[in-house]
Chain A
Amino acid sequence: MTEVTETSPIARRYALAFSNRSVEEALFVSSPVLSIRGLTTEFVTPAGVVKAVSDVSWDLHPGETLGVVGESGSGKSVTAMSILRLIQSPPGRIVAGEILFEGRDLLKMPAKELRQLRGSEIGMIFQDPMTSLNPVLAVGQQIAEALRLHDRRMSRDKARARAIELLTMVGVPNPEGRFDQYPHEHSGGMRQRAMIAMAIANDPKVLIADEPTTALDVTIQAQVLDVLRTASERTNAATILITHDLGVIAEHADRVIVMYGGKVVEVADVFSIFSAPRHPYTLGLMSSLPRLDVDLQRLDPIPGAPPNPINLPTGCSFHPRCRVSKGRDLCRTQVPPLYDIGGGQQAACHFSEEVPAEMAVVSREMGARLGSAGA
């Protein structure tokens, strides 16, 4: 099972518990390094306008790992791409919001200024290392490029030496030899390590990892995530970890943002997300997750399918699939705002106070107590 190291979120949680400070205090003493306010990103398609992200706001604090979780189409990747303005336009466009990095709005910044931040202050790791590396350039050259783009005076030799150092740091064996090899000569795991090396090359303050292990073999996923954690700790970067894998969240995130239908539906620290979710969707994610640590009689999947992003349900977009709503009018007509629950937890549900009781019901149905042990 989970190895409890000093750096695991569990250990950090305990550390917080003994430091006589609330989680909230501990996280909010420092001002956020990245703040998203009211971000709305749309895609114009022949079938209509897709609101991939609508009115999303959250903060990223120095040193923390923020997990962003949600199913395909929930808007988590689009949020990440919007931060560095990597949304292809057309068809995409950011229609509203602010993304403040150290007080400066990335969305209003001139392109040249933004380029100076890309890859130096904010590093990014993409989902598929098979397609995210340039197939006709040597892997090492691509890392060296990241260095030389932000330090014009760096010599080729120095960039090479530093790139080899970075490859060593991310655990690539024989880094001198690997430097001159091309992506197709590397395995998926090695390529993603190289991507991580590229992203941390300039010691970024923010590291965005967009489903960094989704395209990898299960056996490699854990290794790559460990490399990512080590890398973000070494550079002391605040990390945004986007994933649909709750197991990854449990093990690596400090705080969690749950997204559904382009909106944030729940924000909480990782303990609360698993032990006391306050949004029915989060509860649904928990109850559909197979677990090894508790003996489940059965899984309780979320009924229905993800919503059509062109034509989202009225009111709360989760209401057609919700087991708490029970057909109440409020859910159908009113979009729930993010309610403050306390302890840094927020949930966008009109009836979030009913979720704990529902959780007990689900637990009975499944033959195990959710929110206990593991997580």
Chain B
Amino acid sequence: MTGTAAHIVRTLLLSLITLLGVSVLIFLMLRVLPGDPARVLAGLNASEEQVAQIRQQLGLDESLLSQYWHFISGVVQGDLGESARTSRPASAEIAVRLPATLILAFVATVVGSLVGVTAGVLAAVRRNTVLDHVVSSVAMMGVSMPVYWLGLLLILLFAVTLGWLPAAGSGQPLSIVLPAVTLAAFSTALVSRMTRASMLEVLGQDFMRTAEAKGAPPRTVIIKHGLRNAFIPILTVISLQFGALLGGAVLTETVFGWPGIGRLLVDSIGARDFAVVQGIVLVYAAVFILLNVVVDVLYVVVDPRIRY
């Protein structure tokens, strides 16, 4: 495990370079995009002087290099700058919204993993049966159904027609059900496909036969001996999905009025709110990197052959 600890430290140090790169990219991208934040803020009827004044306030009249220096030296001190729209610190704006998105992505990942792995294992064990075909078809639908469409259908059925669940917002504990299910649909499908493929590969292995020859019941053979061996690629897909869910939550959050970071990002891009957009992208990058470190550690736990 010492090798693993060293690997984590090394990864985290290297990730600083990655974050720096991300900060440069997002900074430049925002500046290259058409649209002037000062003009957006000033409104349609503002005079040129007012726009210039706002531009000066925001520091947008400085050179790109000094703007970047301003930004990055703030980041190092934990200051992401000020939101152009609300004049509150961008970090505060993000901090308010981040937990809602993390919870949504987490719940969706858990649901997607549990359902996906179960369905995938069943499909593999009963391959080429009706069950397998049903799982495959449902998975295909899950992958191809647009999130907003599925979300609207679910709202129509469970909130409007049946009235079982709240349609939008985050006020009640049950509010998370519909957005989480909507968000989980895609990853459930993906995880089940991956689980099926990976399990099929393992099911024919010699050690599965050994386990059977020992007198182990099918459940033990399939889960203890099979799934554990099939889990590395499944784990990879799940972790990638968690990352994708964070970003992909934008549409779901919009459909369900979920007060998360995805909607904040879209709104901020529209308003050319540079500080908030840069902050959110950096947070995403950091979450992705941490996620990768966690998965690296999980690999070692799942498969003792993996050493760093």
Contacts and interface: CB of A to CB of B under 8 A. Distances in A.
Interface in A131-154: 131-138, 142, 145-146, 149-150
Nearest to B203: A88
A225 interface: no
A339 interface: no
Nearest to A87: B209
Contacts of B224: 137
Contacts of B214: 118-119, 145-146, 149, 198
Contact of A149 (B210, B215, B303): B215
A118 B213 contact: yes
B204 A131 contact: no
A24 B292 CA distance: 69
Contact of B303 (A84, A136, A150): A136
A137 B206 CA distance: 14
A132 B209 contact: yes
Contacts of A116: 215
Chain B interface, >50% SS class: helix
Nearest to B217: A115
A102 to B, nearest CB: 16
B225 to A, nearest CB: 5
B227 to A, nearest CB: 10
Q: Which of B212, B224, B228, B303 has the most CB of A within 10 A?
A: B212
A132 B208 CA distance: 8
A128 interface: yes
Q: Which of B204, B205, B215, B225 has the most CB of A within 10 A?
A: B215
B228 A136 contact: yes
Contacts of A117: 215
Nearest to A123: B213
B305 A135 contact: yes
Contact of A86 (B207, B212, B220, B229): B212
Given A88-B204, A132-B206, A133-B207, A184 B305 contact: yes
B211 interface: yes
A101 interface: no
A124 interface: yes
Given A134-B225, A136-B229, A145 B205 contact: no
A126 interface: yes
Interface in A150-168: 150
Q: Which of A120, A128, A145, A184 has the most CB of B within 10 A?
A: A145
B20 interface: no
Nearest to B229: A136
B215 A120 contact: yes
A146 B204 CA distance: 20
Interface string B295-308: 00000001111000
B216 interface: yes
Q: Which of B210, B211, B224 has the most CB of A within 10 A?
A: B210
A182 interface: yes
Interface in B170-212: 204-207, 209-212
B47 to A, nearest CB: 70
A131 B213 contact: no
A86 B64 CA distance: 71
Nearest to A117: B215
Contacts of A124: 210, 213
A149 B216 contact: yes
A133 B206 CA distance: 8
Nearest to A121: B215
B126 to A, nearest CB: 12
A131 B206 contact: yes
Contact of B207 (A118, A119, A132, A146): A132
Contacts of A138: 304
Nearest to A145: B214
B37 to A, nearest CB: 53
Interface string B215-237: 11100100011001100000000
A124 B214 CA distance: 8
Given A126-B210, A136-B304, A182-B304, A131 B205 contact: yes
Contacts of B207: 131-135
Nearest to B207: A134
Nearest to A131: B206
A77 to B, nearest CB: 11
A324 to B, nearest CB: 39
A86 B209 contact: yes
B160 to A, nearest CB: 48
B305 A118 contact: no
B228 A118 contact: no
Interface string A105-133: 00000000001111110011010100111
Given A131-B207, A133-B210, A135-B229, A119 B215 contact: yes
Q: Which of B204, B211, B224, B225 has the most CB of A within 10 A?
A: B211
A128 B206 contact: yes
Contacts of A150: 215
Contacts of B212: 84, 86, 118
Nearest to A133: B207
Given A126-B206, A182-B305, A134 B229 contact: yes
B215 A134 contact: no
Nearest to A112: B217
Contacts of A126: 206, 209-210, 213
Contacts of B204: 88
A129 to B, nearest CB: 9
Nearest to B306: A136
Interface in A315-362: none
14 contacts: A84-B212, A88-B204, A116-B215, A117-B215, A118-B212, A123-B213, A128-B206, A132-B207, A133-B207, A133-B210, A134-B211, A136-B302, A137-B225, A149-B214
**8 cross-chain pairs, A with B, having the tightest CB-CB distances, nearest first:** A119-B215, A119-B214, A118-B215, A131-B206, A134-B207, A124-B213, A132-B206, A146-B214
Given A84-B212, A118-B214, A131-B205, 11 more contacts: A116-B215, A120-B215, A126-B210, A132-B209, A134-B207, A135-B207, A135-B304, A136-B228, A136-B229, A145-B211, A149-B215
